[in-house]
Chains A and B, each alone.
Chain A
Amino acid sequence: MLGKDKNIKTRDESIVTYGGAVSSEEKTVIGKQITIEGTVRGKEDLLVEGSVKGSIELAGNHLTVGLNGQVEADIQAENVTIRGHVTGNVDALAKVSITKEADFNGEIHAKSISVEDGAYLKAVIELEKEPQMKNIRPVKLGDKAASDTSAKPAILTSEADKAK
């Protein structure tokens, strides 16, 4: 069992579980010098500054991959913040946040996402859709926003040109 702020190290493929009688504000840290191969499963927030290869399952909790974190894993959590290097698929019940320092390669399924400009992603992103998002109000060419000084472009080609 792993407790608050304790570093974790396992040599062999294993399942690591943690999160006993701790408050929701507590966070476990996998430190820079720690490497875990296998499944990390728990019920409290987790900060990864070390290396994890395998899978991470934090139902209802927040995973943060820190600046030094190196994760090759499929991730399930409530919220996921990526500041370091992650390769794998992320399944978040709520939000995925990716900061500009991040290097992410994989798929993201979430309710919402925020990405800072400058991050590196090679990603597939699929968000849970809310019904009202289907109603996108189109900009009519006569609208003010579409007809202000910057928005009335010259049309260079059109379908009519194709017939010529």
Chain B
Amino acid sequence: MLGNSQSGSHLPGYTSNALRLFLEGLEQVRESQVLDVGSICGDNITFFARRIKRLYICDMFFHLSRDSRGILPPNQIWKHLDYPPHSFDGILLWNLIDYLNDSQVGRIAALCHDMLKPEGMVLASLAGKSMSGTVPCYFAIKDRFRLEINPKPEIGLSLHIRSNREVLELLSLFTPEKSYLYQNGIREYLLRNN
């Protein structure tokens, strides 16, 4: 059995080494700015807002889900990431890549590449099928970089399972610094823009 489940979660948590490295990298930057494009999670907002200068929130799961229901024309979704180039020292892609097709991953990688400052970092986490089949989930930061994994309401998006090589190829605009595979099947990639 992996780590203990917390209240409200039925999925095993784990301690994130990539998150620790991501934060240590941000601590080297004066007045750091981070963009979180994952699901809205109060714990994560509090965690980062207390530690960095400015936290930008744009829930791309929400926009992707609306897009999949035809509320917005395809490809209009990217207009939500309308931040100027070289804005961020770090971008959090919590579990997002699993729910994008290859074309969409390429698009968001290019956008992140533009939005990141030189030497900026991307933290991408992939749950894949590790979490109770294909139930969508989101990560919530608890004490000391421990991540709780919570199920999300149905978001109507297809899960795309990829090998490590495929993920790195799709994110080849960035230099991989560290990748981790945990016993619970979750993968984390810490990438740098250089």
Contacts and interface: CB of A to CB of B under 8 A. Distances in A.
Interface of A: 113-127, 129, 133, 136-139, 141, 145-146, 148-159, 161-162
A123 B23 contact: no
A150 B164 contact: no
Interface string B147-179: 000100100000000001000100000011111
28 contacts: A115-B41, A115-B45, A120-B62, A121-B59, A122-B59, A122-B80, A125-B54, A126-B54, A127-B50, A139-B145, A145-B146, A146-B17, A149-B3, A150-B14, A151-B15, A151-B17, A151-B182, A153-B17, A153-B182, A153-B183, A155-B179, A155-B180, A156-B180, A156-B187, A157-B164, A158-B177, A158-B178, A162-B175
B169 to A, nearest CB: 12
Main secondary structure of the interface of B (DSSP, over half): mixed
Contact of A123 (B41, B57, B62, B80): B57
Given A118-B40, A125-B55, A161-B176, A145 B50 contact: no
A24 B17 CA distance: 48
A131 to B, nearest CB: 12
Contacts of B2: 149-150
A145 B15 contact: yes
Contacts of A137: 144
List the 6 shortest-distance A-B pairs measured between CB atoms, nearest first: A156-B179, A153-B180, A151-B15, A115-B42, A150-B14, A150-B2
Interface-central residue, A133, A149, A157, by most chain B CB under 10 Å: A157
A113 B45 contact: yes
A104 to B, nearest CB: 9
Interface string B80-119: 1000000000000000000000000000000000000000
Nearest to A149: B2
B177 A159 contact: yes
Nearest to A104: B57
A51 B112 CA distance: 36
B183 A149 contact: yes
A161 B14 CA distance: 25
Contacts of A156: 164, 179-181, 187
B128 to A, nearest CB: 13
Interface size class of B (residues with CB under 8 A): 35 or more
Interface-central residue, A127, A148, A153, by most chain B CB under 10 Å: A153
A150 B23 contact: no
Contacts of A117: 39-42, 138, 140, 150
Given A117-B39, A133-B50, A153-B180, 13 more contacts: A113-B49, A115-B41, A115-B45, A115-B46, A117-B138, A122-B57, A122-B80, A124-B57, A136-B51, A139-B144, A139-B145, A150-B14, A150-B184
Nearest to B41: A117
Interface string B1-32: 11100000000111101001001100100000
